[in-house]
Amino acid sequence: MNLTHLLRTVLATSSVAFLVACGTSSPSPSAAQQTLGIQQIRNATLKVEYAGTTFLIDPMLAKKGAYPGFEGTYNSHLRNPLVDLPLPLGEVMKADAIIVTHTHLDHWDEVARQRLPKGMPIFVQDEKDAISIRQDGFTDVRVLTESTVFNGTRLSKTGGQHGDDKTMAVAGELLGSVSGVVFQRPGHKTVYVAGDTVWNRHVEDALQQYKPDVIILNTGYARIQGLEGSIIMGKEDLLRAHQAAPKAMVIGTHMEAVNHGMQTRKELRDFIAEKGMDAQRVRVPADGEIYHF
């Protein structure tokens, strides 16, 4: 089987953590409006509660083992997701809006397509993804820009690259476009969700432009057989973020839930300790774990 077929197959088939931080805002916002909550669900699926609005990001909602492993990737004999949701599906789906950074299976799956309310606002990276999701029956699909506003919160699309330059030269058309998002509001912490990207100028530009207080990186180090390196970030990138943004909280996620993710939480935590990173501002949430700040 050639690489192109393998990658086509990959892409075709392709817990609870709270960070509470309060800011000030005028005029005299309520405590709920000041609250920032970041909830690790599973894989790249997150909930961000920002200024009283709850965003569900990259929903992969199927039960454990619902899908075959991604053919042509490492550990493809394993079925995805590798673990169940840590919360009942109904609780996971409670949100005011959805953000889909890209439409690979492990970020937007069949259960999400079938079960999420068809009228819920969904923010996507481009018109191509918008058309695809509208075809699933969703009626309020919006394309993110650098100045999208929802319920008073600014949502800024950021760039990314689903593999290094060498990987993209071979498989860029198949890996496709990816994005991240930044949450901003006066008097509130700035949150940057990088999405499925490797560390590159897109990430560096976002850190420089937005100076986020909270940085969320997909650090599962997912790998495709026959290609060097990873198609998302890993432990070294967590260190880069820690050094590049010395005042920010850095969170590593997208681990231990899909077959081709090669980075475990234990390995990442051991690396954090080995490198002497500040454990108070570098976190690796387990499914079901709760952080309060």
pLDDT in tens, 100-135: 999 999 999 999 999 999 999 999 999 999 999 999
36-284 CATH choice from 3.20.20.140, 3.90.1150.10, 3.40.50.2300, 3.60.15.10: 3.60.15.10
List the 122-124 sheet strands across, edge first: 36-42, 45-50, 53-57, 97-100, 122-124, 141-143
Say if CB 272 and CB 285 are below 8 A apart. no
Do 37 and 205 touch, CB atoms closer than 8 A? no
Q: Are strands 191-193 and 180-184 parallel, antiparallel or unpaired?
A: antiparallel
Q: Identity (one letter) of the amino acid at 202?
A: H
Mean pLDDT of the chain: 89
- Please give the structure tokens belonging to residue 244: 């590049």
pTM over 0.75: yes
Q: How many CA atoms lie within 13 A of 250 on its CB side?
A: 26
Higher pLDDT, 72 or 245: 245
Cα–Cα distance for residue pair 237/250, rounded to 1 Å? 11
pLDDT at position 233, please? 98
pLDDT of residue 293: 57
* 166-189 pLDDT, tens digit each: 999 988 888 999 999 999 999 999
Q: Cα separation of 238 and 213, whole Å?
A: 15
Is 60 exceeded by the pLDDT of residue 29?
no
User: Could you give the count of Cα atoms lying within 13 Å of 84 in the half-sphere of its Cβ?
Assistant: 5
Task: Say how far apart CA 91 and CA 17 lie, in whole Å.
Answer: 14
The region of weakest confidence among 23-37, 72-86, 191-205 is: 23-37
- Using the predicted structure, report yes or no on whether residue 5 has a pLDDT greater than 50: no
Please check the confidence at residue 32 and state whether its pLDDT lies above 60. no
Q: In terms of C-beta density within 10 A (0-12 exposed, 13-18 middle, 19 or more buried), how is residue 161 classed?
A: buried
| CA triple 189-241-52, angle to 5 deg | 20
**Structure letter (DSSP) for residue 164:** -
In the predicted model, is pLDDT for residue 70 greater than 80? yes
